[in-house]
Amino acid sequence: MMKAFISVDLEGMPYIVIPGHLALKGILHDEARRIATKIALTAADELRRNGFGKVVIADSHGPMVNLLIDDLPDYVEIVRGFPRQLSMVAGVEGCDVAVFLGYHAKFGTAKSTFDHTYSGGTINKVEVNGVTSSEFLLNAYVAGELGVPVIMVAGEAQLIKDDVKRYAPWAETVALKHSLSRLAARSPSMKVLDKELRESVKRAAARYRKGNTQKLTVKAPVKTRITFMTSLYADAAELLPIAKRIDALRVEYVSGSMVEAYKVFELLVMAASGLLNMLETLR
């Protein structure tokens, strides 16, 4: 029985445009949860219709408890909570294909809703073997190293243009939103998106069966360079013995695999985020 993996983020979802959509206590978080759940279950349903008897969904935004679980079909398993091994792609191991939903552009992308890379408060840039990487690229590299091709990405249009078409041209795509600014976007109706998602999944599944998809991988050793928002976070990262300080804001480290590099990155993000939260208590 074939098994599919779905990673679900929020910032690239349709209609989600203000910070109140993204936080657990946000004024519009309930709306965002309904939107993301609808998109995820539509993709899961179409995957099942196209030969994938099991679907693993990784709830992957913020504290990773966003999706509504009341009406999960019996063929779906859900991964929730944080911290966890492999973060946004926890559960991808052993799957045949991966689908990314609600993904967004990397930090510094003009007129792109909620542009950031992994942690909007602490990370300015992540480079993997010299390539500036979005969350899409980081997660696709991990999936690829574990033998899983990303066959479809649905999210913000600029991410699709900048990264998906460039690095994974075999992947089917759906633009869930076209950004007008960091906090504004236009999106089609959910009825239109439902049709586009189903057609895209169907094409992606057919392409996979024909052997026309690839695993996106990075050569080892993997050199990761992180540019932080402030020197304080680099101060903390430098405490890790394998991390080399480059300048005030940047550290780099070398790993034997992408999975290893990703886990170290997770740890450094958590350290920086912990400092950010600590600073808030000192105000």
At 117 the pLDDT is: 98
Distance CA(104)–CA(136), nearest Å, equals 8
CATH class of the domain whose range is 2-209: alpha beta
> Which residues lie below 8 Å from residue 7, measured CB to CB, with a gap of 6+?
58, 60, 88, 89, 92, 98, 99, 100, 101, 103, 139
> Which residues lie below 8 Å from residue 169, measured CB to CB, with a gap of 6+?
none
Distance CA(185)–CA(189), nearest Å, equals 13
- What is the helix (H) or strand (E) element at residue 77, kind and residue range? strand 76-79
The packing angle between helices 258-281 and 135-145, to 10°, is 140
pLDDT tens track for 199-216: 999 999 999 999 999 999
The packing angle between helices 190-209 and 29-49, to 10°, is 40
Burial class (CB in 10 A: 0-12, 13-18, 19+), 283: exposed
Distance CA(215)–CA(229), nearest Å, equals 32
Distance CA(206)–CA(202), nearest Å, equals 6
At 280 the pLDDT is: 84
Tell me how far apart the terminal alpha carbons of the chain are, to the nearest angstrom. Answer: 55
CB 144 within 8 A of CB 216: yes
> Which residues lie below 8 Å from residue 170, measured CB to CB, with a gap of 6+?
149, 151, 207, 212, 213, 214
Question: Where along the chain do its domains lie?
Answer: 2-209, 222-281
In this prediction, the residues of the chain whose per-residue pLDDT falls under 50 are none
**Tokens read off for 102:** 């609600």
Percentage, residues of the chain above pLDDT 70: 100
At 202 the pLDDT is: 98
DSSP SS3 for 246: coil
Q: What is the CATH code of the structural domain delimited by 222-281?
A: 3.30.1360
At 260 the pLDDT is: 98
